Amino acid sequence: MAKTGVDIILLNDDVRFGMWDGFGCLCKNHLAMICDLLGEQLEEEDLKKRILDGGKNKYRDAFLAANKASLENYAREMRKAVDEVNPDIRLGFAACMSSWDIDGDAYGLSKIFAGKTKPLLRLIGAPYWMVGKAWGNNLQDVVELERMEASWNDLSDIELIAEGDAYPRPRINCAANYLEGFDTALRASGELDGILKICVDYVSNVGYEKGYLKQYIKNKPVYNEIEKHFLNKKPTGIRVYESRNKVAAMQIPNALGGQSDMQDVFFSSAARMLAANAIPTVYDGCESPGIAFGENAYSLREENFKNGLVIDALAAKILKDKGIDVGIDAFGAGMPIKYQYFCDEDNYVIANNCIVYGTNINSRCKVLSYGSNDLEKADIPFCFLYENDNRQKFLVFNCNAKDSERLLKHQGNAKMIAENAEWLCGRKLPAFCYGHPNLYMQCKEDERQLVIGIWNFFEDEAIEPVVKLGAEYRKAEILCGEGKLCGDSVQLDDIPPFGFRAIVLEKTVRPADRV
């Protein structure tokens, strides 16, 4: 391929070990490499048991190191072959889920592939996942996934492109709106350098399916508005803590005795909960309330606690075992609940047998929500606030978030986070909007403006959405729709399925007054 005179070669999705049938590789060559690293001889089945039991151990470390080293050696050989033809050819690859942890480090691997050229990496997460909700992802989840991956790179020395694939085309299989929603949201967030946007079916005649191109052309004015207002502004919102390396330290079974899925830990339950409920997120810094579910608690540092944390029961158990007071004196057995009760609203919702834990909580905890199996009785704490003696503040969901995503996406749970952000860190969220499923929000700001992007990634219209603001503003400009500023909120017109709105707000307050 290099001899054809191309400038760029991008290897597709197969720079990885395993996928559908498992993860990693324990072939005879890898087994020998692992045994050499360990300095002992082991059979395959014995090694599997040691890798998949307990927490961090030398056997899992050796397994991960061997897989990483193999792919790095492959990248060196590929780079060497290309250099023999032309060392100026850029050689990149398409990351997969395993590329970020089980198979090593996609960022580091891209630098080996690159040689003397600038590294090039296509991230994983495509709009076609929306078709069958692949791995449980809605469209906003795929956007957040790519933003999360971008945060794991040094953006100053790598070119990142999004996976803009509408496979399997034509539009009867995958709507152009999925591709456009994905593209516009990532243009607004601004972490990536571009998109590998496949608008033409590479099987059919070029003119057979023109819908993707027509939608692309139609949206060019929207791209221009996004570039004008979103670029060169800083994201603001809840800080999502998602560690790239989880597998090495994760407990199997997990710290609460439940199942652990090495593949599934790649997907952020925290980001999914917020993105489904129009709560903006960031993936950098410690200046806003944070959210860390499950295994991500192992990676938290002292500075991550200074503006409060939203955690689940698994993260709470991990932190408690590390000696951090999270308001839970003792963890009991898990039990299914039929209902969740919200105290302030005096309202029950169906909990679909979500598992909560029979915990003994500190008397200083303020319970916001209970779990129950009786509509007349609510006595199992489901969500509570707690401040320990070190002035560390927590909003705790007494469930394993990974197993409870469906319930946590209820608007009542998101509302508890949004309305208690000020208690957690002393500042309100810049904006949020609840009551509209899969209404996705991004917020960015500079000294003069706060700009809010809103995408309706749900099948229903978002009827008369009201965006609550963290401060009052001098004036508002509505893009791609209509609306009006009313004190500390903006009333928007109805947003159709896969529609987009933006709000440009002129500030009258200092940025430090908000998250």
Q: E strands along 123-256, which residues?
A: 159-164, 194-197, 234-235, 238-240
Q: Are residues 215 and 249 in the same domain?
A: no
Look at residue 432 and tell me if it is in a domain: no
Q: E strands along 27-135, which residues?
A: 90-94, 120-122
pTM: 0.96
What amino acid occupies position 442?
Q
The 10s digit of each residue's pLDDT in 287-340 is 999 999 999 999 999 999 999 999 999 999 999 999 999 999 999 999 999 999
Q: Are residues 413 and 464 in the same domain?
A: no
Q: Are residues 319 and 205 in the same domain?
A: no
| pLDDT above 90 for 11 | yes
Contacts 24+ apart (CB under 8 A), 510-513: 511/445, 511/447, 512/427, 513/427, 513/470, 513/471
Q: Are residues 49 and 169 in the same domain?
A: yes
Query: What pLDDT, on a 0 to 100 scale, did the predictor assign at position 91?
Result: 99
The 10s digit of each residue's pLDDT in 170-179 is 999 999 999 9
Examine the fold and report which residue of 228, 257, 277 is the final residue of a domain before the chain moves on: 228
The 10s digit of each residue's pLDDT in 117-135 is 999 999 999 999 999 999 9
The 10s digit of each residue's pLDDT in 252-279 is 888 787 776 777 889 999 999 999 999 9
Beta strands 159-164 and 90-94: pairing type?
Answer: unpaired
Look at residue 454 and tell me if it is in a domain: yes
- 200 burial type by CB count under 10 A (0-12 exposed, 13-18 middle, 19+ buried): middle
- Distance CA(413)–CA(368), nearest Å, equals 10
What amino acid occupies position 203?
V
How far, rounded to the nearest angstrom, does the alpha carbon of residue 50 sit from its chain's CA centroid? 30
Look at residue 431 and tell me if it is in a domain: no
Let me know: does 407 contact 494? Beta carbons within 8 Å. no
Q: Are residues 355 and 465 in the same domain?
A: no
Query: What pLDDT, on a 0 to 100 scale, did the predictor assign at position 376?
Result: 82
Q: Are residues 213 and 248 in the same domain?
A: no
Query: What pLDDT, on a 0 to 100 scale, did the predictor assign at position 343?
Result: 96
Average pLDDT for the chain: 95
Q: Which two tokens stand for residue 490?
A: 């903006």
Q: Which two tokens stand for residue 220?
A: 């060019």
Band (pLDDT 50/70/90 cuts) for residue 514 is low
| pLDDT above 60 for 511 | no
Q: Are residues 277 and 413 in the same domain?
A: yes
Look at residue 123 and tell me if it is in a domain: yes
Beta bridge partners of 132: none
CATH no. for residue 445?
2.60.40
The secondary structure of 89-136, three-state, reads CEEEEECCHHHHCCCCCHHHHHHHHHCCCCCEEECCCCCCHHHHCHHH
Q: How many domains does the chain have?
A: 3
Q: Are residues 72 and 124 in the same domain?
A: yes
Look at residue 164 and tell me if it is in a domain: yes
Range of the domain at 294: 243-425
Instruction: Tell me the average pLDDT across 128-151.
Output: 97
Q: Are residues 109 and 144 in the same domain?
A: yes
Look at residue 235 and tell me if it is in a domain: no
Q: Are residues 420 and 444 in the same domain?
A: no
Examine the fold and report which residue of 228, 263, 283 is the final residue of a domain before the chain moves on: 228
Q: Is the model more confident about 328 or about 52? A: 328
Examine the fold and report which residue of 228, 260, 291 is the final residue of a domain before the chain moves on: 228
Look at residue 236 and tell me if it is in a domain: no
- Distance CA(430)–CA(473), nearest Å, equals 11
Q: What DSSP letter does each residue of 282-336 carry, written as one string?
A: ESS-SSS-EEE-GGGGGG--GGGGTT-EEEEHHHHHHHHHTT---SEEE---EEE
Longest CA pairwise span in the chain (Å): 76
Q: Are residues 32 and 142 in the same domain?
A: yes
Q: Are residues 370 and 472 in the same domain?
A: no
Band (pLDDT 50/70/90 cuts) for residue 24 is confident
Q: Which two tokens stand for residue 177?
A: 């709106």
Band (pLDDT 50/70/90 cuts) for residue 209 is very high
**Tokens 């330290």 belong to which residue?**
249
**Tokens 């592939």 belong to which residue?**
113
CATH no. for residue 361?
3.40.50
Coarse DSSP helix, strand, coil percentages of the chain, rounded to the nearest 5 percent: 35, 25, 40
Alpha helices in 354-446 (DSSP H): 405-408, 411-425
Look at residue 237 and tell me if it is in a domain: no
Instruction: Tell me the average pLDDT across 181-206.
Output: 96
The 10s digit of each residue's pLDDT in 357-380 is 999 999 999 999 999 999 988 789
What amino acid occupies position 252?
I
The 10s digit of each residue's pLDDT in 76-93 is 999 999 999 999 999 999
The 10s digit of each residue's pLDDT in 373-425 is 999 887 899 999 999 999 999 999 999 999 999 999 999 999 999 999 999 99
